[in-house]
Structure 1
Amino acid sequence: MAGRSRTELDNGALIVSGQLGKTVQRLRKAYNLSLSDLAEQSGVAKSIISQIERNETNPTLATIWRLSQALDVSIERVLASADDEPFIEKIGRADTPLLVSDDGRVRLAIIGWIRTVEWMQWYDLTADPGGTLESDAHQRGSVECLSVLSGEAEVEIAGEVERIGAGETLRYRCDRPHVVRAVGREPLRAVMVCIMKAAVME
């Protein structure tokens, strides 16, 4: 929204898809906000927010901007296209971001969708025997799911250690420092999904 002033944003109503109301409601619930809470934080009347969530009004761009600021998301995300529109996207190996540890033993391919990064992240994890992935704490209430496809992994968190092998999944709180190690003789291959506190399962 660079270059757009608040006054310019106030001009006229914006015709939006029926997805807008669902998006605002999902984000509001994700942050455990009541209609009154969101109204207070955004400066948008409670009745207007209620109408937006029920898709009974076409809000101005200024209103959507205020709601996006209060919900701490980009206005582009709030205005995302409707679910029923055709969608397919293919990402090649060369275009998939890859993080590699300093010693080269751990490789983390970011296969999650950029639009979900605020509430869900997922990765393709490969590691040579002895490889270690150390992670800082995520936001409070977050949960990580590690599904091993081949090899063995050891997860250490808050002084507790759990070992899992191929075909097994480990779920654990990741709102504190945690470590994933490749143990055993074979390379580790796993899918790792981090579900943030803001996630809402519908």
Structure 2
Amino acid sequence: MGVEGRERTRELESGAQQLSGQLGKTIQRLRKAYNLSLSELAEQSGVAKSIISQIERNETNPTLATIWRLSQALDVSIERVLASAEDEPFLEKSNRRDTPILVSEDGKMRLAIIGWIKTVEWLQWYDISADPGGVLESDAHQRGSVETLSVLEGDFEVEVAGVVQTARTGETLRYRCDRPHVVRCVGDRPGRATMVCILKAAVMD
């Protein structure tokens, strides 16, 4: 390893020690953004479930190698994992590389997680790209949750508890998502939409 490489390693190790207080919260937020359990993240990263749990509770100072494995499993840069929430600028920019993408089971719907990672426990925001016929089936979220689907291109339909409603370009559907629900891209052209999920909506209590 060259001089620059050694300097880089020392900087990251120093950052890991200084920011350990924020690291646990960051790992937990990223894990929840992917809807991963501790066991699933452990399997994908090769880091023991007990270690991840300790990191999230700030009960241990992980090694740089451990942080690197977790960042790879969570598909974000190691700098993002080590970033201190207190030092983040008010004006923040994310690039495509750091934007997590979820894919439906049929592979025809792609959800880019564009919401702020800090709000993922109660507010989630997605940019949806769908091929014709794409289907996204979702389990019930916590009680009182409400979802909003705003169609930018194409036609979508939403089914909740046997009730189906269609929205075209420029239209918005709002529905309870605390029960199983299905979003479909209908018609013969691709679709684009934004989806916002409020996970603790007091209006539905």
Class of the TM-score when normalised by the shorter of the 2 chains = 0.5 to 0.7
Report whether the alignment pairs 1:119 with 2:122: yes
Q: 1:186 deviation in Å?
A: 1.1
- Give the residue type in structure 2 aligned to 1:93: R
Given that 1:118 and 1:198 are in contact with CA atoms closer than 8 Å, whether structure 2 keeps it comes out as no
Alignment of 1:1-202 (within 5 A): 87-197=90-200
Aligned residues: 121
1-structure distance, mates of 2:146, 2:201: 11
Shift of 1:101: 2.5
Q: Cα deviations across residues 64-95 of structure 1 (Å, max 9, x unaligned)?
A: xxxxxxxxxxxxxxxx759xx95111110111
What is the CA deviation profile of residues 117-142 of structure 1, one whole-angstrom value per residue up to 9, with x for unaligned ones? 11100100111010000001011011
C-alpha separation in 2, matches of 1:198 and 1:144: 10
- The sequence identity of aligned pairs, in percent, is 73
CA contact (8 A) 1:134 1:178 kept: yes
**CA distance in structure 1 between the partners assigned to 2:95 and 2:113 by the alignment:** 12
TM-score by length of 1: 0.55
Q: Which runs of 5+ in 1 are unaligned?
A: 1-79
Amino acid at match of 1:126: S
Residue 199 to residue 92, structure 1, CA distance change in 2 (3 Å): farther
RMSD of aligned residue pairs (Cα, Å): 2.5
Alignment-mate amino acid for residue 140 of structure 1: R
Q: Are the counterparts in 2 of residues 119 and 199 from structure 1 also a CA contact under 8 Å?
A: no
Whichever structure has more helix as a proportion of its residues is 2
Deviation for aligned residue 1:110: 0.6
Task: Return the alpha-carbon distance in structure 2 between the equivalents of residues 198 and 143 of structure 1.
Answer: 6
Give the match's secondary structure for 1:94: helix
Cα drift, residue 192 of structure 1: 0.1
Task: Structure 2: give runs of 5+ residues left out of the alignment.
Answer: 1-84
Residues 106 and 142 of structure 1: CA distance in aligned 2, closer, same or farther (over 3 Å): same
Aligned equivalents of 1:145 and 1:129: distance in 2? 20
Larger radius of gyration: 1
Offset from partner CA, 1:93-121 (integer Å, 9 cap, x none): 11100012243211111111110011100
Q: Please list every run of at least 4 consecutive aligned residues from structure 1 whose deviation after the TM superposition is greater than 3 angstroms.
A: none
Q: What's the TM-score, normalizing by structure 2?
A: 0.55
> What secondary structure is seen at the aligned counterpart in 2 of 1:115?
helix
Aligned partners of 2:106 and 2:135 also within 8 Å: no
Once residues 188 and 143 of structure 2 are traced to their aligned partners in structure 1, the CA distance between those partners, rounded to angstroms, is 35
